[in-house]
Amino acid sequence: MQELESFKEVISSPKKIVITTHHKPDADALGSSLGMANYLLKKGHEVTVITPSDYPSFLHWMKGNDDVINFEDKNSQEKAKKIIQKAEVIFCLDFSCLSRLQEMASSVEGSKAYKVNIDHHQDPKDFADFRYWSTEAAATCELVYELICKVGDRSLIDNDIADCLYAGIMTDTGGFRHPNTTKNVHLITAELIDLGADNSKISRLIYDTNSINRLKFIGFAITRRLVILEDLQTAYFAISKKDLRKYHSKTGDTEGLVNYALSLDGIKIAALFTEREDGVKISFRSTEEIAVNKFAAAHFDGGGHKNASGGKSKLSLKETTEQFEKLIKQDQKTLFNQLELIHEKN
Ligand code: 5GP
Ligand code: MN
């Protein structure tokens, strides 16, 4: 509570503020950042949103997008570093440890600014002066909404801010389908619609703006790159750099692909292995009972949420999937343990 008072005090007079989020921002990361930015601008602050990388074009509609600085863009990096150095307050949204900023981490870590961390991931690292954190929240956007209300500024939320926050809640709940879609999610979503969020426009802008290349890529991945391990109730995609090049893949084109594997009847664990310049990036998804974040943390230098997590590997794509298959077999008991217990009870 005392911390909330100190936070209120900090944002009560104009400051130089930087807002950042995790590498390869998704709708919750960018929506919470731009939602917060637009709110703080209204309060008279000087605000810059700096992302550690680019992000999908289906998020470019958010208000403030044109002023976002991409730290990975070599032409902007020096400018970004100067702005971070001068910042009095740094907001770190939708991530729990600074390593998720990748190349940008040392600049933020080295800054003396008052740091704010708003997040809903497990095991937050202690790097912030004020932390507004809950793993119960479906999205960071949900927490941003709550915090603005707690500060007493609900009336400052206009339709642009509401649009940004709605987008993050919509996507982090998988379109209001995942188990994290709580009563609170629906209540806050209703509030956001009341404040002007255009829900049907936002779902169209995010889900229905595919390029034909992306649709062809999804078709190719499902027909040629999907491996189903029926006995292990597991299915995964392995996508090579060559595959991505062939379909002129852009940032965001692989987003959601892993869900096709999880959508198969009888499949409880899904993974997507994507070969990148610096190694293999992995997305894990699971059904309610199975904690893939623990699996990701134990074997793939990762983490995240119980049913949606990620990790990485420095092995080749083939070696990584071989290792994955071996580990799934090996960890079968632990992974499915909860499930067996549930079945025994029934
Ligand atoms: P996605 O598969 O959509 O990239 O990520 C799913 C979830 O896992 C997100 O909440 C994301 O923050 C988390 N996540 C993804 N990659 C990593 C990682 O390398 N480390 C950790 N700790 N979390 C990750
Ligand atoms: Mn999130």
For the chain, give the longest Cα–Cα distance: 60
Nearest-10 Cα torsion for 272, 274, 280, 282: -30
Tens of pLDDT, residues 201-218: 999 999 999 999 999 999
**C-alpha span between 335 and 112 (Å, rounded):** 42
Ligand 1 near 308 CB (within 6 A): yes
* Per-residue pLDDT, 338: 57
Q: 95 C-alpha to center of ligand 2: Å?
A: 8
* Per-residue pLDDT, 289: 87
What is the arrangement of strands in the sheet containing 130-133, beginning at the earlier edge strand? Answer: 69-70, 46-51, 16-21, 89-93, 114-119, 130-133
Where b means 16+ CB within 10 Å and e means fewer, 1-24 reads eeeeeebeebbeeebebbbbbbbb
At 339, the pLDDT band (50, 70, 90 cuts) reads low
Rounded mean pLDDT, 314-337: 94
Ligand 1 near 45 CB (within 6 A): no
CB-count burial class (<10 Å; 0-12, 13-18, 19+) for 66: exposed
* Per-residue pLDDT, 248: 95
Element (H, E) at 339: helix 317-345
Ligand 1 near 305 CB (within 6 A): yes
Ligand at shortest distance from the CA of 305: 1
Q: 11 C-alpha to center of ligand 2: Å?
A: 23
Ligand at shortest distance from the CA of 271: 1
Atom index in ligand 1 nearest the CA of residue 97 equals 22
Q: Using alpha carbons, select from 125, 155, 124, 151 the residue that is nearest to residue 137.
A: 124
List the alpha helices (DSSP H) in 43-139. Answer: 77-86, 105-110
Rounded mean pLDDT, 172-192: 96
Q: Is residue 142 scored above 50 in pLDDT?
A: yes
Residue nearest to atom 12 of ligand 1 (CA): 304
Handedness of CA 102, 107, 110, 116 (dihedral sign): negative
Ligand 1 near 56 CB (within 6 A): no
CB count within 10 Å of CB 236 equals: 24
Q: 141 C-alpha to center of ligand 2: Å?
A: 8
Tens of pLDDT, residues 10-29: 999 999 999 999 999 999 99
Q: Using alpha carbons, select from 252, 244, 249, 296 the residue that is nearest to residue 270.
A: 296
Tens of pLDDT, residues 38-94: 999 999 999 999 999 999 999 999 999 999 999 999 999 999 999 999 999 999 999
Rounded mean pLDDT, 172-185: 95
Strand residues in the chain grouped as ranges (E): 16-21, 46-51, 69-70, 89-93, 114-119, 130-133, 226-229, 234-239, 269-276, 279-286, 303-304, 308-313
Ligand 1 near 96 CB (within 6 A): no
DSSP secondary structure letters along 170-193? HHHTTTTTSTT--HHHHHHHHHHH
Q: 325 C-alpha to center of ligand 1: Å?
A: 20
Atom index in ligand 1 nearest the CA of residue 302 equals 20
What is the best residue among 21, 22, 254, 309 to mutate for testing ligand 1's pocket, by most ligand atoms within 8 Å of CB? 309
Residue nearest to atom 20 of ligand 1 (CA): 302
* Per-residue pLDDT, 173: 95
Ligand 1 near 174 CB (within 6 A): no
Average pLDDT, the chain: 95
* Per-residue pLDDT, 337: 74
Q: 136 C-alpha to center of ligand 1: Å?
A: 17
**C-alpha span between 99 and 105 (Å, rounded):** 6
Ligand 1 near 307 CB (within 6 A): no
Atom index in ligand 1 nearest the CA of residue 272 equals 2
Segment among 98-107, 257-266, 329-338 with least mean pLDDT = 329-338
Size of the chain, expressed as the number of residues it contains: 346
Atom index in ligand 1 nearest the CA of residue 22 equals 12
Atom index in ligand 1 nearest the CA of residue 284 equals 2
At 346, the pLDDT band (50, 70, 90 cuts) reads very low
In the chain, the domains with their CATH numbers are 2-207 (3.90.1640.10), 212-345 (3.10.310.30)
- Look at the block and give the residue holding tokens 């999205």: 139
Rounded mean pLDDT, 172-186: 95
* Per-residue pLDDT, 334: 87
Tens of pLDDT, residues 237-278: 999 999 999 999 999 999 999 999 999 999 999 999 999 999
Structure tokens belonging to residue 287: 């059904």
